Structures are given as C-alpha cells and as structure tokens.
Structure 1
Amino acid sequence: MLEKLLIPVTATIVACAPLTAFAQQSTTHGTFTGASDHITTGSVQVIKTADGGALVILDSNFSLDGAPDPRVGFGRDGKYVATSDVGKLENLSGLQTYVVAARINIDDFNEVYIWCTQFNVPLGIATLNRN
C-alpha cells in the first residue's frame, strides 16, 4: 500500500556552483510595466552574489502577454544595454531565475528589461529600488 502513496520528485539544476557563491550580498527589486503595446506585470529581484555575479529572480506573479524572442537584461535611465543580456525568457509567466555572470556589473544599471531582440523593442521594464 505504501508504494501507492509515494510521489516521484524530480529537480532541475540551473547551475553548478558552490552554495557559498550564491550567498546574498545585496538586493534590489522592482515591478514591471509593459512597453511597446505589451502587457508585462509582476515583480523582480536582483541579488548580488559573493562570487561577483548576481541572480535575477522573476517572482511568481510575473507575466508577459507574449512576443518573439524575449530576453532578460539590464538598462539604465530608459536605455537597454544589449551586452547585459542574461538569457532567453524561459516562460511567459511565473517564478524563474537567471544567473548573471560576474562580467556584468549590476551596479551599472537601474532597470531590468524584458527585451524583444527580433524587433529591438522593450516588452517590459522594471525600475530597480535598492534595499
């Protein structure tokens, strides 16, 4: 009988790194506003890590209405910086985490973008507030 109650559990590993590399150093957060006639909503957190990189966390309330080739990246004062791209948006909604390489200094930016590379337009912008 007990075998029928067991539920298989699976996990996906996003990145292999020592846990100490992800120790929180500082956090910024923001809320998305849609752009270019797209609806983008929800919260984002950017957490600096001990290894000099960062994590971008789109919270469970994140949502994008859809677009071709959406990417996650950074910008400053209303201007997206293409070299800050951290990867393809994996899902149009829900909790998701992106690893930011140490070569990208997140202190240089005050916005997180959801960016459409096909049409070179913003889909959503979140202004970051320091904790």
Structure 2
Amino acid sequence: MKHLLSALLVIALTTLATLGAMAGGSTSGTFTGKSNHITTGGVTIETHADGTATVTLDDDFSLDGAPDPRVAFGKDGAYVPAGDLGELKMLNGKQTYTVPASINVDDFNEIYIWCLKFSVPLGVAKLG
C-alpha cells in the first residue's frame, strides 16, 4: 500500500508539472527611462500553451514622448533590431503586442522602448 501511494504521488506531481508547462508562463519587468526620457510602468511577457506569446505594457505604462517610438526585445543591455514588435500604440496605458513566431522570447532578457529615428533607448525593462 505504501508503494502504491508513493507511485500515485509521483504520477500526480509529474502530471501537475506537465500541465504547468503546457499552460505557458509569464515574466515581467519595470521600465526605467533612458536618454533623458521618462519611461515608467510595467511590462509582462506571456507565453501561451499554443506556443504564441504576447508583450503587454501595463495600465501604468507611460512615455513622455519621442519621435518614432518602437517596442522591441533586447539582451544584456543592447537593443535587438530583429526583436522589433512595431510602433508604440500610445504614450500611456495598457497595450498588447503579438510576438511573431520567428522570435523566441527565451532569447531575450529586456524589453525596449526604442527611438528608431535617433537610434537611442527611451526606456528599458529588465525581465525577471
């Protein structure tokens, strides 16, 4: 009986771990302004069970303004042009961006608000 209970417990824990992995996950960060710009608020990256991912700038997101702001991934302090998700939709508030299938979110550890016109960061959120 004791071995049966142990086996059932192992099966249950394995099943829970598998379901957790299938459900996807999320990571988040908080923006810090760069290049004399004020960028604040949070960002959340969600990976979904179907393999898709989204980047959501939270309700408290705010950028003081700049020409041609973009949302993009970065890694270790560097903006990655191939990780560009498109134009910033609004200077304030919640907004969601679909991550193209060609981008693996696990390859990055930052989200950038990037000024394409002047090639400078406006804000960076370290993910963790």
Q: TM-score range by the shorter chain?
A: 0.7 to 0.9
Counterparts of 1:48-127 in structure 2, within 5 Å, are: 48-127=47-126
| Structure with the largest fraction of helix | 2
Q: CA deviation at 1:24?
A: 5.0
Q: CA deviation at 1:102?
A: 1.4
Structure 1's unaligned 5+ residue stretches are 1-22
- Quote the sequence identity (%): 61
Q: Structure 2-normalised TM-score? A: 0.81
SS in 2 for 1:44: strand
Gaps of 5+ in 2: 1-21
CA RMSD of aligned residues (A): 1.2
Give the aligned residue type for 1:73.
A
Max radius of gyration: which structure?
2
Contact 1:35 1:125 in 2 (8 A): yes
Instruction: State the secondary structure of the residue aligned to 1:31.
Output: strand
Runs of 4+ in 1 over 3 A off after TM superposition: none
Aligned partner of residue 82 in structure 1, secondary structure: strand
1:56-112 Cα offsets, whole Å, 9 max, x none, are 000000000000000000001100000100110000000100000111001000000
Distance 1:76 1:45 in 2: 16
Matched letter for residue 71 of structure 1: R
